[in-house]
Each structure stands twice: as structure tokens, then as C-alpha cells.
Amino acid sequence: MDDKINVLIVDDSALMRRMLGDILSSDPRIKVVGVAKDGVDGLQKIRQLSPDVVTLDVEMPNKDGLTVLEEVMKTNPIPVIMVSSLTKEGAQVTLKALSLGCLDFVAKPSGAISIDIKEIAAELISKVVAAKGARVRTIGATVVRGSDSRAASSPAYKQGKRDIIAIASSTGGPMALQQLMSSLPGNLAVPIVITQHMPKDFTASFAKRLGSISEVTVLEAEEGMDLKPGHAYIAPGGSHLIVKRRPNKTPYCGLSNAPPVLSVKPSANIMFLSVADEFGGKVTAVILTGMGRDGTDGAITLHSKGAYVIAESQETCVVYGMPKAAVEAGVVDELLPLPDIPDALLRSVKG
């Protein structure tokens, strides 16, 4: 039985189709079952070939990537990975794609046609492999409360109120964060720090998008920014977000150019460890959907200091990787479906 991951490549560049095909075919788990030269061709091939995963270019003639994505998600949702340019415009289009249900994206290192595409080979392969088992939602579908909720009357709430919320997310995170942040009140009594795996130039646009749907003020973190209640600070792509304190004990954002940790930068582990250093156990940490295990090592330290750790349960995760790693490490106090997490956060900061 052939259990390979069947992939369709949709791109208007013949060179890019060839290069992406060569990269994906180099992995024994993946089989490229077809290529399409534009959006119309892509939709036709999706119907004909029923691929497990589609890689989709953004800018194409006849029908662009967003139009194709929207049609796919409305009629026959399948995992789609966008291949987009690393520009400000590309970031905005990619974020729109993520809100339409695109699972993840890879950013072309330079231009639409570039031999530098080989730089993203490992990232592309890992995301295609993760996409095979991912949960894909139709446009407009919100995650509803499920059966996997755990009792929220945990003794951990009785240990005192929390002074900061720290959130880690990766694949599927942009959609999860949109739902989570839009459910929090603007008068939240504590600051929030967020590490979402995303490249440089994308996080500023993402912060703006989150801020437009949330009562909480959302900012891309900058060196020296004070951490204020009712504000959320997103780690900028390409930098680790660390929490520091001034001599007067005011917490503020610091940025670190340290190397990637577990191949990611920003790293939730680094953010969690810095929060543990400055706040000890007075922290609520949240690990949302994402592949890999970023956040687990930091959560181990936070948990050992008495912090309250919440993980998103498998039933609502797009990819149950990061939360699963934390659960297996034994440091999760509460495993909750996404719609139950905002209430748990509010309870934890009230004490």
C-alpha cells in the first residue's frame, strides 16, 4: 500500500514548479502527484487528483492564490501551504490566507524565482509532512466547545493570582490567536507576551491584524517597551522576546539576537524562561497548536516554580505537537479546547 503524502504544486513559474518538485520528491515520505500552472489549472487538478496537501503560489494569472484558497476552503477543505514572497505586501496577503484557512506558509527567501529556494527545503518538507495529519476548517468555522474540557476548579488557582500571561503557538496559531484574543476584555489586569513562529516583516502585520479584532491593545514587541496591563506584545520575527525588569521593578520587553533554539527564532522556550526568571510562579503559560516541541522546556521551568500551565487539547489543535510534548512532560495543569482557554485565563489572573 502506498502511504506516501500526495502533493500538488500550484505555481505559475515553471522553474519554481521544478525546484519545489525536486525538494519534495527528495523526501521518501512525499510523492508529487501533479503540478498546475495557474489557479484555474490548480482547482481542476485538485478535483482530479484529490491530493493530501497543496502548495499554492500567491501571485498567479487567471486566478490568484487567495481566490483558489477561498474556493477550496468553501467546497473541499484540504491542507494548503502558501508559498509567498518576503515583502510587506506578501505578509499582508499571507495573513489574509491564514485567516481563510491556509494551514501554513513558507516564505521565498528572495523574489518569485530564486535558486535560494533551496534554503527553505527542510522547512517546506517538515510543513508538508505535518500538514498530512492536520485539522483543516472551512471558512468562517469557529471552534466550539468540545468534550475534552477539564474541570477548571483546579487547586492551582488557589495559589494566588498571576501577574502575566505568556503564550506559545506555531502551525495553526494565527487562527487560534485570533479566536483567543478576540475573547479577552480590554481591561485585562495583566500584560500578555506571545511567541508565534513567523518570519521577520510578518509579525508587525500580524500584530496589527490581531489588534483590529481584539479589545486588548496588540503590539509588535520592541526593545524597551514597558509591559502594561491590557496589552499584548508579539515577538518580532527573527528575534527572541525576553522579559526584563527595570530597577523600579517595572517589567519591559527585551529582544535577543541569540541563535535559533530547536530551529525556531523567536523561541517560546527563551520567552518562557525569561518570564520564569522575572515572575517566578506568578505566570499563566499557554501552549497552543503547533508542530514540534517549542515551549516544553520553558514550561518545565515555569511549572517547577508554581506557574499555571494550560495546553490546547487535541480536539481543537490544527497540529497537536507542541501541546502534546508539554502534556507528555507532565507539566500541564489544564488541557482545554480553544474556546475554553479565555475563561481559564481570566480566572487565573483573578486568583
pLDDT in tens, 158-175: 357 899 999 999 999 999
b/e for 280-319, b at 16 or more Cβ within 10 A?
ebbbbbbbbbbbbbbbbbbbbbbbeeebbbbbbbbbbbbb
Say which residues have a Cβ less than 8 Å from residue 227's Cβ, sequence separation at least 6: 164, 191, 193, 233, 243, 250, 251, 252, 253
CATH entry, 155-350, from 3.40.50.180, 3.40.50.720, 3.90.1640.30, 1.10.10.350: 3.40.50.180
In the set 11, 197, 240, 267, the catalytic residue is 197
CATH of domain 5-132: 3.40.50.2300
Q: What is the mean pLDDT of residues 102-115?
A: 70
Query: What kind and span of H or E run contains 10?
Result: strand 5-10
Are 310 and 334 spatial neighbours (Cβ–Cβ below 8 Å)? yes
**Is a pLDDT exceeding 60 seen at residue 148?**
no
Amino acid 269 reads N
pLDDT attached to residue 114: 55
Dist. CA 77–CA 265, nearest whole Å: 30
Say which residues have a Cβ less than 8 Å from residue 304's Cβ, sequence separation at least 6: none
Dist. CA 283–CA 309, nearest whole Å: 8
Dist. CA 241–CA 128, nearest whole Å: 28
Q: Which residue has the higher pLDDT, 188 or 145?
A: 188
Would you call 294 a catalytic residue per the annotation? yes
pLDDT in tens, 61-76: 889 999 999 999 998 8
Phi, psi (degrees; rounded to nearest 5) at 125: -60, -45
**Is a pLDDT exceeding 80 seen at residue 40?**
yes
Burial of 275 (0-12, 13-18, 19+ CB in 10 A): buried
pLDDT attached to residue 146: 47
pLDDT attached to residue 91: 80
In the set 11, 57, 294, 340, the catalytic residue is 294
pLDDT attached to residue 153: 38
Are 117 and 234 spatial neighbours (Cβ–Cβ below 8 Å)? no
In the set 170, 267, 313, 348, the catalytic residue is 170
Query: What kind and span of H or E run contains 8?
Result: strand 5-10
pLDDT attached to residue 155: 43
pLDDT in tens, 45-58: 999 999 999 999 98
Are 158 and 120 spatial neighbours (Cβ–Cβ below 8 Å)? no
Terminal alpha carbon distance of the chain: 54
Domains 5-132 and 155-350 belong to one CATH topology: yes
Dist. CA 46–CA 80, nearest whole Å: 11
Beta bridge partners of 34: 8
Dist. CA 45–CA 212, nearest whole Å: 36
Torsion, Cα of 221, 323, 104, 89 (10° steps) = -10
Burial of 190 (0-12, 13-18, 19+ CB in 10 A): buried
Phi, psi (degrees; rounded to nearest 5) at 70: -60, -45
What is the domain partition of the chain in residue ranges?
5-132, 155-350
**Is a pLDDT exceeding 80 seen at residue 112?**
no
The cell numbers describing 243, all together, are 522579559
Dist. CA 151–CA 336, nearest whole Å: 9
* DSSP classification of residue 142: P
Q: Which residue has the higher pLDDT, 64 or 215?
A: 215
pLDDT attached to residue 139: 53
**Positive or negative: CA dihedral 126, 131, 132, 135:** positive
pLDDT attached to residue 242: 98
Strand, helix or coil for residue 16: helix
Confidence of residue 351 (pLDDT cuts 50, 70, 90): low
Dist. CA 225–CA 329, nearest whole Å: 33
Would you call 170 a catalytic residue per the annotation? yes
**Is a pLDDT exceeding 60 seen at residue 30?**
yes
